Each structure stands twice: as structure tokens, then as C-alpha cells.
């Protein structure tokens, strides 16, 4: 039985037409499940009994099972159990501009980035769209607030689960869904070139972030196995096409690894690579874990790297650190039962 939160508004319209009903009932249903947050189809007072019974035959409203919440200043980390017993994590972050959630898109990850704790567990399966939607609903229910921003940067590579991720975006962006604005949604990829090109034609103005983390193939080959398949030139060529089609500024994520990718010459090479592209660089102080040998760049090295990029007239920020005390920071999520 399919979870109702898996369906886009268009899919629901097709469903109602298929059972001999008017397609406007899809909007009615969205208003009940996302607006009023019903937990039973029987609660829909403006829907015919025969329609309600049909919905109960075909769909479920079952939520995710919340296993554990860890709370730190301005950050909560949530551990969820999925229908098959698999575990994923989400992170809530409070900013001065709103409340953001970092959503997982897969159980495990096949990208195998050497510095990333999440990638130590190989991909088990993709998350369905509803399993991503329900992460948001569960967190909103916990904090009793509306989430204003979504980043698909949790466990998994979103572009390795393209259809479910794009359907998820359609659902949470819809005015009768969660009504989260396109420009408040960011998708992160490690650089799957065919999907970057496909995403250029996706008709929603969502933000794209690319986990680059190196200015050349030599360094990137060492720390990101995906670079064996898609070299930096391939990624940059795809991004130029993406920008030409969308006119959307691109974010480049760059983890600062001590004595690996943080030298002055690395910063200079990065500036040459990005010159002329409408983008900005998000420098991420590395969050060390017990299982991985990489170390965080020294603060003065991060600041020097920042200064070089800034002086080359490329937008650059140093990511504010969230959740390291509860292993909720970038690269620290890990969906294993040992997390319990």
C-alpha cells in the first residue's frame, strides 16, 4: 500500500480521475494532509464516504517512527526508523533567517568520499519521496514550528535518487503542500554530470550546490572516488550549461582538510577554475570523526584561503558550524544501529 505523502499533486489528480472523481479533490486532500495535518482519512469532513473508503484501501498515512532526538544549541538531530527497519538521520538548524532542515535522501551512500562519515555505510536503498517529506513533518511536529528552508544534504547522493528527490521538491514546494519556496530549497551533488544536465531542465528555481572540495583532479581523485567517473572539467562544462539554462548562481562546497586541499596554491587554482562563473564558495571547516584520519585545517589557514578567494572577486563564506557536539555537523551523519 502506497503512502499518500509519496504523491505529487499531478499524481493525485490522475488518481481521482481514475476512480471517477473530479481532479480538484487532489487539492482538497493536500489541504487536509498538509494544512490540517490529519492522521486519518476519516477526518476529511468535505470528502464523500465512498471516496474516503477508497483512499483507505489504496493508501496509508503512516508516519516515520522517531527513534531518538539529540538537542544542542540551535540544532536538533533526529534518528528515524523506516518501514523496513532501515535508519536515517535529519538535522534541524536555526538561523537568523529561518528554520532549516537537512534531509537524507538514501540509506547509506555509494559516493564513498574519504572524509565523510555518512559514506562509510554503503548504499542500502533510495528513500521514497514520502520518506523525505515525512522527515519534515516529523520535525515540524516536534518543534511546533514551520520549517522555512530545506537542504537535501543529509545521508546519500540526491542525484543518485533523482526521481524521488525531484518529486519530493514538487510536493514540498506546492502551495497546498508544505509551501516551501523554490529558492529556499537546495540540492547538493558530488558531481553526477548527466543529472546536472537533466536538472538544468527541471522547471523549479531551486538552488544547486556542488561538493567540489578540490581545485584539481589529482587531489579530488584522492578524496572523492566519483572523480574517477566525472572529472572536474566534465563537471564545470555541465555547470556552464546548467547556468546558461537557469541563470541560477551555483554554490561550491569546499571542505577544508589540513595539508590536503588548503594550501595557498590550491586557493589560487580554485579561483582560476571558477573565474567568470556566477557562483560562490562555501568553505566548510572539517568536522573530525573517530573513524577517519583526516584533520581540520587550522583556523589561520582557513582565513588565508578565504582571503585569497575574496581578493579574486569570488563570493565566499565560511560555513557557520552547527551540531558537532551531537555528530550532526556536515559529514557526520551515519545511519547505523550503533547510533542508538
pLDDT digits (tens, 9 = 90+) for 235-247: 999 999 999 999 9
pLDDT band at residue 322 using 50, 70 and 90 as cut-offs = low
**CA 37 to CA 298: how far, in whole Å?**
47
**CA 129 to CA 123: how far, in whole Å?**
17
- pTM for the whole thing? 0.93
DSSP code of 32?
I
Annotation: CATH topology of 2-60: DNA polymerase; domain 1 (1.10.150)
Active site residues: 89, 330
Percent with pLDDT over 90 in the chain? 88
pLDDT of residue 41: 98
pLDDT of residue 292: 84
Instruction: Give the H or E element holding residue 65.
Output: strand 65-72
Say whether pLDDT at 67 is over 70.
Answer: yes
Query: Bridge-partner residues for 88, per DSSP?
Result: 80
Say whether pLDDT at 336 is over 70.
Answer: no
Say whether pLDDT at 286 is over 80.
Answer: yes
Say whether pLDDT at 121 is over 50.
Answer: yes
**CA 14 to CA 208: how far, in whole Å?**
30
pLDDT of residue 339: 40
**CA 99 to CA 103: how far, in whole Å?**
13
Q: CATH 3.20.20.70 spans which residues of the chain?
A: 65-339
Q: CATH 1.10.150.530 spans which residues of the chain?
A: 2-60
- Tens-digit pLDDT profile for residues 24-52: 999 999 999 999 999 999 999 999 999 99
pLDDT band at residue 325 using 50, 70 and 90 as cut-offs = low
pLDDT band at residue 308 using 50, 70 and 90 as cut-offs = very high
pLDDT band at residue 290 using 50, 70 and 90 as cut-offs = confident
* 65-339 carries CATH number 3.40.50.720: no
Percent with pLDDT over 70 in the chain? 94
pLDDT of residue 205: 95
Instruction: Give the H or E element holding residue 25.
Output: helix 25-30
- Alpha helices (H) along the chain: 9-18, 25-30, 49-58, 129-143, 162-173, 193-199, 217-223, 232-246, 264-274, 299-311
pLDDT of residue 338: 43
Distances (CA, A) of 69 to 129, 160, 191, 298, 328: 22, 27, 31, 31, 11
- Of the candidates 15, 72, 66, 5, which has an alpha carbon nearest to the alpha carbon of residue 37? 5
**CA 82 to CA 331: how far, in whole Å?**
21
pLDDT of residue 331: 45
**CA 105 to CA 123: how far, in whole Å?**
11
Q: In this structure, what C-alpha cell is assigned to residue 323?
A: 551540531
- Tens-digit pLDDT profile for residues 225-282: 999 999 999 999 999 999 999 999 999 999 999 999 999 999 999 999 999 999 999 9
pLDDT of residue 5: 98
**CA 135 to CA 162: how far, in whole Å?**
18
Q: What is the mean pLDDT of the chain?
A: 93
Say whether pLDDT at 333 is over 90.
Answer: no
Q: What SS3 state is found at 12?
A: helix
Amino acid at each position: 500500500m502506497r503512502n499518500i505523502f509519496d504523491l505529487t499533486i499531478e499524481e493525485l489528480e490522475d488518481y481521482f480521475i481514475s476512480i471517477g472523481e473530479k481532479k480538484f479533490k487532489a487539492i482538497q486532500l493536500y489541504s487536509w494532509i498538509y494544512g490540517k495535518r490529519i492522521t486519518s482519512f476519516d477526518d476529511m469532513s468535505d470528502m464523500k464516504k465512498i471516496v474516503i473508503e477508497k483512499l483507505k484501501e489504496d493508501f496509508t498515512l503512516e508516519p516515520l517512527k522517531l527513534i531518538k532526538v539529540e538537542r544542542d544549541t540551535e540544532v536538533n538531530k533526529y534518528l528515524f526508523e523506516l518501514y523496513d527497519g532501515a535508519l536515517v538521520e535529519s538535522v534541524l538548524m536555526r538561523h537568523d533567517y529561518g528554520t532549516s532542515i537537512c534531509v537524507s535522501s538514501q540509506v547509506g551512500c555509494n559516493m564513498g568520499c574519504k572524509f565523510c562519515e555518512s559514506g562509510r555505510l554503503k548504499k542500502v536503498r533510495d528513500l521514497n519521496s514520502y520518506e523525505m517529506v515525512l522527515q519534515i513533518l516529523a520535525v515540524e511536529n516536534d518543534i511546533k514550528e514551520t520549517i522555512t528552508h530545506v537542504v537535501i544534504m543529509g545521508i546519500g547522493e540526491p542525484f543518485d535518487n533523482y526521481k524521488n528527490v525531484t518529486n519530493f521538491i514538487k510536493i514540498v514546494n506546492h502551495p497546498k503542500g508544505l509551501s516551501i519556496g523554490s529558492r529556499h530549497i537546495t540540492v547538493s551533488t558530488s558531481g553526477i554530470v548527466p543529472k546536472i544536465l537533466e536538472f538544468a531542465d527541471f522547471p523549479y528555481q531551486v538552488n544547486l550546490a556542488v561538493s567540489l572540495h578540490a581545485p584539481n583532479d589529482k587531489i579530488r581523485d584522492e578524496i572523492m572516488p566519483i572523480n574517477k567517473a566525472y572529472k572536474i572539467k566534465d563537471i564545470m562544462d555541465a555547470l556552464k550549461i546548467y547556468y546558461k539554462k537557469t541563470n541560477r548562481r551555483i554554490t561550491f562546497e569546499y571542505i577544508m582538510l589540513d595539508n590536503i586541499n588548503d594550501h595557498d596554491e590550491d586557493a589560487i587554482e580554485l579561483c582560476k577554475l571558477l573565474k567568470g562563473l556566477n557562483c560562490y564558495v562555501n568553505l566548510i571547516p572539517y568536522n573530525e570523526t573517530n573513524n577517519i584520519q583526516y584533520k581540520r585545517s587550522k583556523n589561520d589557514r582557513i582565513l588565508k584561503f578565504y582571503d585569497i578567494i575574496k581578493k579574486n572577486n569570488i563570493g565566499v563564506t565560511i560555513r557557520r558550524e552547527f551540531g558537532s557536539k551531537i555528530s550532526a555537523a556536515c559529514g557526520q551523519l551515519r545511519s547505523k544501529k550503533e547510533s542508538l
